Structure 1
Amino acid sequence: MGSAGAVPVSIWGPFAGYGTRGRHVSWLINEQGERADALRDIVAARFERREIPRATVEPVKLVRQGVLVDTRPYFLIRRGLTTAGLYIARFGQDLFVSQVTYFKGPISSMRILILAAALLFALIYPVVYNNAFSQIGVSLFGGVGGDLEGLMLLTCCLGPIYLLDWLALGILALFSGYKWLTVKDVLAALRVPPNEFDIDDTVALEKSVEQTVREALDAVGIEQRLMPQAAESGFRRRLI
C-alpha cells in the first residue's frame, strides 16, 4: 500500500520521537484509487493556502520498525507539541486516507527540580560525610573526639536516604534508556500529560487537517460525503 521504498533495518517505529499516540482515523473510498497522486498534490497546495497558525507541513518518508521494512510517504503537520500524520495512498482500486495524531508532553518544571535535588544530594552527601568522619578522632585511652552525634545522624538518618536516592537515579537511568530504545524519547520520565490548552490545540489541528483533505476531494472530483467527518477528536479517553 503506497510503499516508497525499503530499508534494511529500523529499530524504531514510524512515529518514534513524536510522543504518545492520540486519535487515529481512516477512510476507504471505493473506486477512487487512481486519484491518489492528484489528491496528494492538491492537499499539499491546500496546506500552503490554509496557513495553519504556527504549524509546519513537511512531506516525509516514515519507516516501519523491523528488518527489511518498507517506507511510506506521509505529510507531517507539526504545531507546538502536537504532530499530525496524514497518509494518502491507493489501495487496489480504492483510495485510502489515514490520519493519526501524536503528542509529546511538556517537560515538568517540578520534576526537573526533584531530579536536580536528587542529583545535588547524591553529590554533596559523600563530601559532607567524609568531612564529618575525618574530624572524628580516637585517643589511646579510648576517648572519642569530634562530633560523633553528627556522624551518627549522617549515617543512620541520611545514609538510607542516600542509598534510596542512588537507587531512584539508577531506575530513572534505566527507564530513560528503555524509552530511548523503544520510543526515542530519553526525557519521557520528565513529561506530563496534556492540559486543556494542549487538548484544544490538538483538536484544532486535527480538524484543520481533516477539513483540508475534504476540500481537496472536491478539487479532484470526489464528493465530500464519501469521507464523513470523524466521530472523535483529541486524545482517547481511558477508564483507568
Structure 2
Amino acid sequence: MALILCEEGDVAAAWAAEQLRHRGVAVDVVTSDALGAATRWVHRVDSRTADVEIDLADGRLIRSAAAVPILNRLSLVPLRALRAAAGQDYGYAVQEMFALYLSWLHAWPAPVINRPAPQGLSGAYRHPSAWRAFAAEAGLAFRPWAQSSADPPALSWTTSEPAAATAFVVAGRAVLPPLLPPTLAEPLIHVAARARLALAGFDFAHDAKQGWAMVGASPLPHLPAGGEAVIGALAEALGA
C-alpha cells in the first residue's frame, strides 16, 4: 500500500498511480483539496515521538500508527477553507497551515518521496542558478544561465531551452533514457543528494559543441517521460 499526495489535475501523479497498480501495488491518491476538506486533524509532537491522524471527508483515514510510504507531489497547502474563514488573518493562516504540513510530513514514520522543505511542500524549489551550482560541483555540464533585474520574475522558473531528454533520480538511483550516456548517473545522484531530494527530474539538451548539458531540474518531474524504468524505481523505493 502507498499514498500519492498531489494537486487536482496532476496528470503525472495519476499516471504513476495507474502504472503502479498495474504492477500490483495498492495505491491511494489523496489530493490537496481532499486534505483541505478533512473533518479531523490530530498532530501531536513531543520530545520523543510525533503522530498524525487525518480523517478525510470521504471516510478514508490516514494514520501514522499504520504508516505507508508516500509519494509527495503537493505544491500548495489547501487554501479554499482558509480564504472563506481566515479574513484579515489569511496570510498568517497560510503560514501556519504550511508549518503544519511541513511538520506532519517530516514526522511521517514511513518513507516519503519527497519530504517537504521550507521552500516547497514537495522539496525545495530552487532558482536555475542554484541547480547549476550543484551541477558544477558534480562535474555535470549545463547550459549557462543569465538573468538581470530587467527580466520578468517568471523567468526564474523556466528552462533556458526545450529538453531533448529527461533523466531521473529516485531514492539514490539514476534512471537514464537510452539517449543519455551512463556516465551522467553519478553526477545526477550527487546533485539530487545536494538538493535533498529523493525524487528529481533533470532536463537535457544536446548540441555539437557541448554535447549533453543540463537545462533544468525539478522536484516535481513529469514522470511519464521516464516510462517503465521510473515506475520500477518508484515501486522499489516505495517498498512494493
TM over 0.5: no
Structure with the larger RCO, 1 or 2 (CA within 8 Å, 6+ apart): 1
TM-score interval, normalised by the smaller of the two chains: under 0.3
Q: TM-score, normalised by structure 2?
A: 0.21
Q: TM-score, normalised by structure 1?
A: 0.21
In terms of fraction of residues, the more helix-rich structure is: 1
